Structure 1
């Protein structure tokens, strides 16, 4: 497999591309994706066997099971970062080693149902809070120590719109390649 083919498997929708200006219309689209993600994810994995859930989406990549659990872990972290940004002045957030978290037994072995439930409740709260924010609040930020820069709430919302679509595409593209549909 060529490096170009591997890159396409790794980033099936491409990498996140932040617009110069995040308009209300763009933000509404981000929030719509975050709203629909738990149901879309459940639909894609609900009927998969354990063997299918334990299939990596690319050579050297995570299994579908790990992707589902990673989404719960990552989205919980994002919700906490949002609340820090809303309640503190430009807080330096805590980064985490997502690749190490994905290797823990709850990510590698546990059924995905608990993470699907987490995502359903978490996204309801996340979307409720996002929809309640003022223009000024959407401009609040946090500092990510790995990126060494300020990330505004509206930008992070866009990043998680991408994150939802990115990981959903890992699953849907693998299902197409394996003719599991």
Structure 2
């Protein structure tokens, strides 16, 4: 099991994910960062009502619940890709339509507490799974959505994707009336 999961090189992931990877601090171990994000996100949502979580910052944008569910869905998909590639899968893994997933999530009819519980369980499970892999497994190359990617890059993409959306929550949703 690796002592630290180093930041991936640009050839390890599609260019589209560069901005996410750049959001992960280079001076922090990504596993520590994922654990901190986990605690910070759960704390961020303390005291937010279901009604508030069903609001969006402008018409046509996802609600807070939908955004949180999107983060969960993406982490689950990225983690599945990590598992497949680490286990030696050679088939190309499919892409997904994030808007279709958000629409079909029905997040707004779920209690926020239920969504947060799903996030909590998923992140803890993914941390345990990632820790079970060797450095060699995390350096394998697979194909996802038609692009080459390593599990090591996907771990950083999970962290960066969450940070991207936390930034949106802080910048756009926090400005909404409380």
TM-score, normalised to structure 2, is 0.76
Q: CA deviation at 1:26?
A: 4.2
Structure 2 stretches lacking a partner, 5+ long: 1-17
Label 1:149 to 1:68 Cα distance change in 2 as closer, same or farther (>3 A): same
Which 4+ runs in 1 deviate beyond 6 A? Answer: none
1:149-168 alpha-carbon deviations (Å, 9 max, x no partner)? 21101111111111111111
Q: How does 1:18-97 map to 2 (within 5 A)?
A: 26=26, 29-57=29-57, 60-97=60-97
Label 1:94 to 1:134 Cα distance change in 2 as closer, same or farther (>3 A): same
1:48-92 alpha-carbon deviations (Å, 9 max, x no partner)? 223321222455421111011112211121221111111124331
Q: How does 1:1-181 map to 2 (within 5 A)?
A: 15-17=19-21, 26=26, 29-57=29-57, 60-104=60-104, 106-145=106-145, 148-178=146-176, 180=178
Q: CA deviation at 1:27?
A: 9.0
Query: Helix, strand or coil for the counterpart of 1:150?
Result: strand
Contact 1:92 / 1:144 at 8 angstroms: preserved in 2?
yes
Contact 1:85 / 1:142 at 8 angstroms: preserved in 2?
yes
Structure 1 stretches lacking a partner, 5+ long: 1-13, 20-24
Q: Over aligned residues, Cα RMSD in angstroms?
A: 2.8
RCO higher in structure (CA 8 A, sep ≥6):
2
Q: CA deviation at 1:139?
A: 0.6
TM-score, normalised to structure 1, is 0.74
* Equivalent residues, number: 161
